[in-house]
Copies of this chain bind each other. A is one copy, B any other.
């Protein structure tokens, strides 16, 4: 995104509000906004956050070009003094965030902006767009990789992605969450991740017959020889022809290092077991059996349960669009406004008839609590930034809604970790994103902090996200101060 000026990638109302702040308020009033989400997508027990690196690029590049300003003038909604302000606009605030590849849970601030209200307001839309998209695909991909139980999962969805960026950054997110490669060459180039792929049906069809097509492919790519066997007839033509070619390679003394077949239609459990038998009988027990065709975590689990002998999975549409839940519901809410006189943040709250939609006020952060013995997550604690904890003392956690549900942690049995890191301070970027393959490693270690019960694909155990006592008190005081009647 570093080449593109995405400053106008925003909702029009951000700009009308900005002009409002500019005209009618102290435009430099410092505020705090939290980006958070309310539910894990796809019924998952967790999510994986991703997209921070692109948010950083976006914020660094924020500026209104002359033609942006000229365009805004044509809408007839903006006055010259405001347009002139835009000409000199840049981001001057602080941003804190949970690092990419982290395991995250609902209601936690993923990104926190402390900035003049006009700046914080402008970046809402693009920030949500980027974080929502990549976190969605990373979460979906983590589930698919989990279902594959150690087999390699390849991201193959570019042609069905919702536009070029969805293909590029969706593949990036899928790599973060543990895919071993993507078919997307541009993603490979941009993020230095492995690209994979062999041939399509058109390769086969462009030759007079399947066997010639296979032979030619094997001659060209003996070290990456995965043959697509379903163009005409998988069991009667595709697999026998593939075996013929593998035999010819063996007889010619060509080392069979990485070779096998790809199934792209039909019943994958049945065909893979048949294929395995045929390959074994011909002396090719180490041939890769890869499969594609409408795969997702549910179908992979189901195929594995039936003993499918597939050991390499190419996952397209359902991963790159997160087909069964194609949006991640990240929102961006005002949490506090700084009092100019005292410098203190005055907490703000948004009410709702729906208790789930009431926001958490104040300048917050997240402390993650781990079981000292096995390193698994016990709970996350959303607390105010100035709270101090001592893990040598006992800790009482309570459910923020059903407060009688309490957990008591004995001294020395738990550890605590601050989850948010500074990314921008006074407009300067103070954080360098790791390489994608390093984020992948980190993400793997993050997934290892989840109990198996929370990793389960169906009806997973919900990880507790509690409010600290001071935050809970602040929230309830604010709620009481509104004479809210149903």
Chain A positions within 8 Å of B, measured between CB atoms, are 1, 3-4, 6, 8-17, 19-21, 23-25, 29, 31, 33, 67-68, 71-72, 75, 77, 117, 121, 124-126, 128-130, 132-134, 136-137, 156, 158-170, 183-186, 188-189, 195-203, 205-206, 216-217, 219-221, 224, 230-233, 236, 265-266, 317, 321-323, 326-330, 332-334, 337, 348, 350-354, 357, 482, 484-485
Is B159 a contact partner of A352 (Cβ separation < 8 A)?
no
Specify which chain B residues have a CB less than 8 angstroms from the CB of A184 in the assembled complex: 9-12
Specify which chain B residues have a CB less than 8 angstroms from the CB of A485 in the assembled complex: 233, 236
Once A197-B16, A220-B19 are accepted as A-B contacts, the answer to whether A159 and B205 lie under 8 Å apart by CB is no
A185 touches which one: B10, B159, B183, B266 (CB < 8 A)? B10
A5 to chain B, nearest CB (A): 9
A422 to chain B, nearest CB (A): 23
Nearest B residue to A200 via CB reads: B13
Once A265-B354, A351-B232 are accepted as A-B contacts, the answer to whether A183 and B13 lie under 8 Å apart by CB is yes
Inter-chain CA distance A65–B401, complex, in Å, is 58
A132 touches which one: B77, B125, B159 (CB < 8 A)? B159
A170 touches which one: B11, B16, B163, B230 (CB < 8 A)? B163
Specify which chain B residues have a CB less than 8 angstroms from the CB of A216 in the assembled complex: 20, 24
Is A197 a contact partner of B11 (Cβ separation < 8 A)?
yes
Specify which chain B residues have a CB less than 8 angstroms from the CB of A160 in the assembled complex: 128-129, 132, 327-329
Is A164 a contact partner of B203 (Cβ separation < 8 A)?
no
- Nearest 6 interchain pairs by C-beta: A13-B197, A163-B165, A12-B197, A165-B165, A326-B326, A128-B159
Inter-chain CA distance A156–B13, complex, in Å, is 10
Please list 8 pairs of residues, one from A and one from B, whose beta carbons are closer than 8 Å in the complex, sorted by A's number.
A11-B183, A20-B216, A67-B189, A77-B224, A163-B163, A163-B165, A233-B351, A233-B485
Once A8-B185, A185-B11, A482-B232 are accepted as A-B contacts, the answer to whether A327 and B334 lie under 8 Å apart by CB is no
A217 touches which one: B20, B217, B265 (CB < 8 A)? B20
